Amino acid sequence: METAGRRIYSVSELTRRIKQTLEDEVGRVWVEGEISNFKVYASEHAYFSLKDAGAQLSAVLFAGSRSGVAAGTRLEDGQRIRAFGEVTVFESRGQYQMIVRKVEPMGEGDLMRRFLELKQRLEAEGLFAPARKRPLPLLPQRIGIVTSPTGAVIHDMTTVLGRRFPNLHIRLAPVKVQGVGAAQEIASAVRLFNRACGPDSVWPADLLIVGRGGGSLEDLWAFNEECVARAVAESAIPVISAVGHDTDFSLCDFAADVRAPTPSAAAELAVTTKQEWEQCLEHHARALKQTVRRQVTAWRMRVMTARSSRFFQQPRQLVERRAQQVDTLAMRMDHAAAQCVQEGRQRTERAYGRLRVVRERYEHLTRARLEENVRRLEAACRLRLERLRAGVAGNARQLDLLSPLAVLERGYSLTRGPDGRLVRSARDLSSGAEISTQLKDGSVASIVR
């Protein structure tokens, strides 16, 4: 339609023109990105978004194009893929989208990779160890909830808790559950409950529920932050994690004591219904009454049996019979004691006889060994003495040969100076010096001239 030189399009015309332009100018392309908000409807058509750090693109994979997905590929949030298809416009909504014909997996997306790396590191620290998990309280009276104050989650949980046990006290710590700063708010709320609502406070919380409704991986990312996982793991109050739906998993789930598939399920796990408790109490009351009746009946029967027994009818006869049994046992005991003494005496005499024979035999053997050892010792001593005498004689002969006195016997002499040292040269003496000459049978004093 043209009005006053202006070309005016209807919404449908403009949308069709944009669609045609996109299909003509862009057409079929390969796009690389990370899957988000993946959903499969009853028609088996899959709808999702492809995103990167700067933008996102709506995409649809029709059931008839499933054959274009690489074998063994399971499409899910956080997965990074390359998709081939046509870029077009969904006219009913005026939204451009990509009709995917082929899919090639590229591995996990950035968020999923960060999730797995952080999970592996915290798991290595023992933050998710089953030994750290604590049982939930059997009948909590005060329950703290960390979630958004708006939306269906808090309403659903309070409704379920109120229906199951109306007497509960509930306290909400309102926080953001997604977006910038959400993780810090959640962690601070958990720590606030432990600090302000701990065992020593005026409002001691018995149980904490931390959670939110379902969403994409990035929507739930606040519950995958390290600060939230550590705050939940360090909580002195038992924690139920209720993040997303049954298929969603977060680090908060692994750090908590119990994971619930949904927030409503967390409320159901938190408390048993009041009706179930009343039925349980009634059952135990009936069982206790029946047990007491059975015990009373049994004791009554025992009393009646005792009253009709001979002990109560003829007690003296029973006492006399017991006395006779005591006398019989005393006589048997005396006879047994005497017999034991006699047998002990006989065993002692036999043992003494054997001991005497053994002692005499041992003394004979010891005496023979002693005599033999004496003879051997005397022979060894004589042999040793002869060897020593021969050694002494040989040493004496060698001393005689080496003695300077033997040299004197042959006419030699030894001359010593005034200082008593041997004179080996005439130059060692001076005129007037006194010297001593030793011969074989004496010594002679002289003066040098």
pLDDT at 167: 82
pLDDT at 3 over 70: no
Strand partners, 31: 83
Fold for 2-108, please state it. Answer: OB fold (Dihydrolipoamide Acetyltransferase, E2P) (2.40.50)
Sequence ranges of the domains in the chain = 2-108, 132-272, 276-308, 309-402, 409-447
pLDDT tens-digit series, residues 296-341: 988 988 888 777 776 666 677 777 777 888 888 889 998 899 899 9
Name the region of 145 (left: φ>0; alpha: ψ -120 to 50; beta: rest).
Answer: beta
pLDDT tens-digit series, residues 112-150: 778 888 999 999 999 999 999 999 998 898 999 999 998
- Asked which of 17-31, 49-63, 270-284, 420-434 is least confident by mean pLDDT, the reply is 270-284
- Asked which of 177-191, 338-352, 401-415 is least confident by mean pLDDT, the reply is 401-415
Distance CA 166, CA 70 (A): 53
Lookup: tokens for 79: 């997965």
pLDDT at 398: 85
How many C-beta atoms lie closer than 10 Å to residue 381's C-beta? 10
Are 2-108 and 132-272 in the same CATH fold? no
pLDDT tens-digit series, residues 343-364: 989 999 888 888 888 888 888 8
Phi, then psi, of 56 in degrees rounded to 5: -140, 155
Burial label, 31 (beta-carbon count in 10 A; 0-12, 13-18, 19+): middle
| CATH class belonging to 132-272 | alpha beta
Residues 28, 84 contacting (CB under 8 angstroms): yes
Which amino acid makes up residue 80?
R
Which amino acid makes up residue 438?
Q
Residues 204, 236 contacting (CB under 8 angstroms): no
Residue-wise burial string across 57-87, b where 16 or more C-beta atoms lie within 10 A, e elsewhere:
bebbbeeebeebbeeeeebebbbbbebebeb
Distance CA 160, CA 211 (A): 15
CA 21 centroid distance within chain: 64
